Amino acid sequence: MWQGRRVVLGVTGGIAAYKCVLLARELTRQGAEVDVVLSRGAAEFVGPVTFEAVTRRPVRSSLWERDGALDHVALGQRADLVVVAPATAHLMARAAAGLADDLLTSMLLASTAPVLLAPAMNDEMFANPATQANLATLLSRGWRVVGPGVGALAEGPSDRAGRMAEPDEILAHAARAVRVPGPLAGRRVIVTAGPTREPIDPVRVLTNRSSGKMGYRLAAGAWQRGAVVTLISGPSSEREPTGVALTRVDTTAQMAAAVRERIAGGDVLIMAAAPADYRPASPRDAKLPRSEGGFALELVPTDDILLATARDRPPDLTAVGFALETGNAIEKGRAKLHRKQLDMIVVNDALDPGAGFDVDTNAVTILDRHGAVTPVSLRSKAAVAEAILDAIEQFRA
């Protein structure tokens, strides 16, 4: 996604400047060309050499550098995105007023690229009506803002906003800012992820090996494409994706209820979850003591969520299912596509090396109800999610 993109990273004077080294490094690692512009204050916190080392590009900090006479125009004009992180109250005030008294503010004034700010300051400074008015002005000009969040500030703990958003959150917002809006922009996407678990007794459950990785990557990817995303997740240790509304559930019945509740307003449903297909017929109220010895567990099938919600689907909803098979995957996937009344199905063969549960990679084949077959070779689950979202966009185009 970042390959070949040009990002100007403006860094102003706040303690959080050190975190932006990680941001510059990650953008560079993902293929972006990152030009760092430091304000005078920023250079007091992190030196240019550090940023030069991670971006492998010269760092600018002044309007008056040799050979840099037109940098303030050129840098911003060739950028795909300008990120200012941390953005101090002072930078926001100067930008709102249209001042051009250093390289960073001049560059901002001369640029037509999207701008993303990550404010960081004392909580009183952020709450101050002057800062809020400047923020409102910048938002009204189409600038984007991520954070600030609540949490520890340099001066101690705080329960009010002021702390800069974390680098991975800034990165997710940056990705959403540079994307050209496509068919998923503004659409409501519901994604399910992870396993579900069914109680045997109050301490024991029946579950499966699903990690939730594929569903979480799909939710993050759909949000980056501008969608309004709801993620309904069974137990998973994946981190909550930026921007996504997360609902946690435990059992297949709870997942079915959560899907049913949201489906009426949905444009796309992606059932990436691996809900438990069986549950104990009569879960015990008290812990089963080991001293009782062996026992047989009677299992009954759970609801098939896709089938159970088929009637509730709005007519123009794109329903996407998954099928994890062991052998004859395409054939079985095609049968499932029709049985579950789907528009598309993503087929996995668990026997393929590197594909399936609890790994970071996947290889799939995407089938749609018109007969299109799209093989997606082995790659990271984030890249597979991109291919699936591309296919959904094409299907809806």
Q: What residues make contact with ligand CTP under the rule CB under 6 A?
A: 252, 271, 273, 275, 277, 302, 304-306, 321-324, 336, 340
208 in catalytic set: yes
At closest approach, how far in Å is the CB of 198 from ligand CTP? 11
| Active-site residue (options: 122, 128, 134, 208) | 208
Kindly tell me which of 222 and 306 has the beta carbon lying closer to ligand CTP. Answer: 306
Kindly tell me which of 225 and 336 has the beta carbon lying closer to ligand CTP. Answer: 336
- Which residues, in sequence order, are CB contacts of 247 under 8 Å at separation 6+? 230, 231, 232, 233, 258
At closest approach, how far in Å is the CB of 259 from ligand CTP? 8
Q: Bridge-partner residues for 325, per DSSP?
A: 349
42: helix, strand or coil: helix
Kindly tell me which of 55 and 252 has the beta carbon lying closer to ligand CTP. Answer: 252
What does the angle CA 167 – CA 171 – CA 175 come to, to the nearest 5 degrees?
Answer: 175
Quick check: 225 and 182 in contact, CB under 8 A? yes
C-alpha–C-alpha distance, residues 132 and 251, integer Å: 44
At closest approach, how far in Å is the CB of 126 from ligand CTP? 42
Kindly tell me which of 117 and 249 has the beta carbon lying closer to ligand CTP. Answer: 249
Helix (H), strand (E) counts: the chain: 14, 19
359: helix, strand or coil: coil
Q: What are phi and psi of 205, to 5 degrees?
A: -135, 160
At closest approach, how far in Å is the CB of 291 from ligand CTP? 34
- Which residues, in sequence order, are CB contacts of 383 under 8 Å at separation 6+? none
Kindly tell me which of 201 and 303 has the beta carbon lying closer to ligand CTP. Answer: 303
Kindly tell me which of 160 and 340 has the beta carbon lying closer to ligand CTP. Answer: 340
Residue 55: which H helix or E strand, with range?
A: helix 48-55
At closest approach, how far in Å is the CB of 218 from ligand CTP? 12
Q: Where are the alpha helices (DSSP H) in 164-318?
A: 167-178, 213-224, 252-263, 305-308
At closest approach, how far in Å is the CB of 346 from ligand CTP? 8
- Which residues, in sequence order, are CB contacts of 95 under 8 Å at separation 6+? 105, 108, 134, 138
Per-residue CA distances from 381 to 176, 206, 352, 354 (Å): 18, 26, 15, 10
Using a 10 angstrom Cβ sphere, with 0-12 exposed, 13-18 middle and 19 or more buried, the burial of residue 136 is exposed
Kindly tell me which of 45 and 322 has the beta carbon lying closer to ligand CTP. Answer: 322
How many CA atoms within 13 Å lie on the side-chain side of 83? 32
Quick check: 3 and 23 in contact, CB under 8 A? no
What does the angle CA 360 – CA 363 – CA 368 come to, to the nearest 5 degrees?
Answer: 125
Which residues are tagged catalytic?
208
